[in-house]
Structure 1
Amino acid sequence: MSERPSARMRDINIEWLTRAGEFGHLFQTRWLGERFFHLPGDMLALQELIWRERPDCIVQTGIAAGGGVVFTASMLELAGTEGRVVAIEPRLRDEVRQRLQSHRLAHRMMLIEGESCAADTLASVRAQIHDGARMMAILDLTHTHAHVLRELECYAPFVTPGSYAIVMDTIMEYLPESMFDGKPYGRGNNPATATREFLARDDRFEIDHDIEDRVLMTLSPGGFLKRVR
């Protein structure tokens, strides 16, 4: 069997990301005015999944500058459901909280400040989920192997069959080590390695390669995990 399109494009993508990193490309993107650290391909992939699955609740770890939460909330608004995003950040900056709480899509957002896998945080998340809710998860907080694996263990069970747990930034496994100088993560210790270990333990999820094969340019190769049982 020939290589998948996304695998064939990987070297080109890595070169592009490496070169673009010299210009701080990812840190210059805005979504509805808020800083948003995703590639266009990932934006297309996320909107497609949200539109198709119409989740009642999306758990999103990592708020950072707030653009990712606004993006998710805006996709739920366009989907025309009652869906909300429950967003988690260990240390939510006051200015980010204020911007999100005053945003016109604030009714789509529930902000939780706390460690993503702490018992009280998980209890707060559960309190936002009604019986029969269709669930999705987007994991985009700390990028170490141990942390991402723990988040998968905590949040993948929330995902309903047919829906997705999306692990962001798995591309780190393939980028030059020099891009991670001074970081607690890098090659061999990142979301991709955590995802592989998780999938080896949990057969309820499989990688949906169709998504990345169509968008091609993604920060999350192998990170679109579909719950199949």
Structure 2
Amino acid sequence: MKLSNIASYAQDRDWHSLSKEFHTKSFLQYYMYNFSILGRPIIQMPMDIIATQELIWKVKPDLIIETGIAHGGSLVMSASMLAQIDYCEAVEAGTTLDPRASRRRVLGIDIDIRAHNRALIEAHPMSHLIEMIEGPSTSAEVVAQVQEFAKEYKRVMICLDSNHAHDHVLAELEAYAPLTSVGSYCCVFDTVVEDLPPEISAGKPWAKGNSPKTAVWEYMRRLKDGSSKGLHSEVMVFAVDKEIENKLIMTNAPDGYLQRVA
């Protein structure tokens, strides 16, 4: 019944119109700035927070790479999910859990990690699962660092949520989407910029036509024609998981939940 309900939501135009109206108001009123995870602010719509934790549980990654750190709420949420996975696996195996022995990690990248945010993230109980790199996420140096770090991990999930301009997001996709494990996800946030009125991006370096969604479309086109490939020149296939956005109705990431299927 749940799957048929979700499938039917895609056709409910009235509901989607209400969602768009609420979503527009949410941006104009900074609604997504009102929430926190385990004490750290997270700048996301509640629906996407729920979707992200569902995906982490589904994939059970041993590494989550996130671009865009801000106050660190997303890093803390991801780390807390990895800790819960460790705990549940220990319970199922009948073993004793040593939290600090976990190999799972969240790797956050940001061009500017403010000193007070870094201090609070590093003081958080989840910090033993968090690593951070300060620098431009698309620079050759940072990309090389991340790729080297990721070599030690088998199941990798990606979340892109930094500069939302087309060229920047496309460069992040080229750099980090190939690190996504088959069956895992590369989540591109704020693709909704393409769908909402222009006033929500007034004064920003991104807008309709220059957004994360246009970057996703271009990256998917490049994958299809073979001009973009994996780390070892292998053919990669990503698919937009429409079931997620159909279920959420209102999401910051329409067309942005990308599952690597090959």
Q: TM-score range by the shorter chain?
A: over 0.9
Could you give the per-residue CA deviations for residues 171-225 of structure 1, whole angstroms, max 9, x where no partner exists? 1111110111111111111001100111111141110111111222211011000
Q: What is residue 176 of structure 1 aligned with on the other side?
A: 197
Look up the match of 1:61: 67
Q: 2:51 aligns with which of 40, 45, 49?
A: 45
Q: What is the 5 A alignment of 1:77-226? A: 77-80=83-86, 82-131=103-152, 133-203=154-224, 204-226=237-259
SS in structure 2 opposite 1:151? helix
Q: What's the secondary structure of 2:150's corresponding residue?
A: coil
CA RMSD in angstroms comes to: 1.9
> Where do 1:2-13 residues align within 5 Å?
4-5=10-11, 9-13=15-19
1:75 to 1:2, Cα distance in 2 relative to 1, 3 A: closer
Distance 1:6 1:207, change over 3 A: farther
Unaligned runs of 5+ in 1: none
- Which one-letter code corresponds to 1:72 in the other structure? S
Counterparts of 1:95 and 1:132, CA distance in 2: 30
Asked if structure 2 preserves the Cα contact closer than 8 Å seen for 1:6 and 1:213, the reply is no
**Greater shift in the superposed pair: 33-42 or 19-28:** 19-28
Choose from 32, 52, 71 the match for 1:26: 32
Q: Is the 8 A contact 2:20 2:250 kept in 1?
A: no
Instruction: Tell me the SS of whatever aligns to 1:175.
Output: coil
Structure 1 counterpart of 2:253, which letter? S
Larger-gyration structure (1/2): 2
What code does the residue aligned with 2:30 have? Answer: G
Whole-angstrom CA distance in 2 between matches of 1:2 and 1:26: 27
TM-score, reference length from structure 2: 0.82
1: CA distance, partners of 2:58 / 2:171: 28
Query: Given the alignment of the two structures, is residue 76 of structure 1 paired with residue 82 of structure 2, yes or no?
Result: yes
Give 3-state SS (helix, strand or coil) of 1:225's partner.
Answer: strand
> What fraction of aligned residue pairs are identical, expressed as a percent?
38
After TM superposition, the score normalised by the length of structure 1 is 0.93
Amino acid of the residue matched to residue 147 of structure 2?
A: R
Q: State how far apart, in whole Å, the 1-side matches of 2:223 and 2:10 are.
A: 24
What is the count of residue pairs matched by the alignment? Answer: 229
Shift of 1:94: 0.3
CA deviation after TM superposition for structure 1 residue 21, in Å: 3.3
- Taking the aligned partners of 1:156 and 1:22, their CA distance within structure 2 comes to 31
Counterpart secondary structure, 1:128: helix
In the alignment, what sits opposite 1:228? 261
CA distance in 2, matches of 1:227, 1:186: 27
Does the CA contact (< 8 Å) of 1:5 and 1:213 recur in 2?
A: no
SS of the equivalent of 1:68 reads helix
What SS does the aligned partner of 2:69 have? coil
SS in 2 for 1:206: strand
Residue 11 of structure 1 and its aligned partner are, at CA, apart by 2.3
In the alignment, the residues of structure 2 paired with residue 40 and residue 26 of structure 1 have an alpha-carbon distance, to the nearest angstrom, of 8
Aligned counterpart for 2:41 among listed residues 30, 35, 57? 35
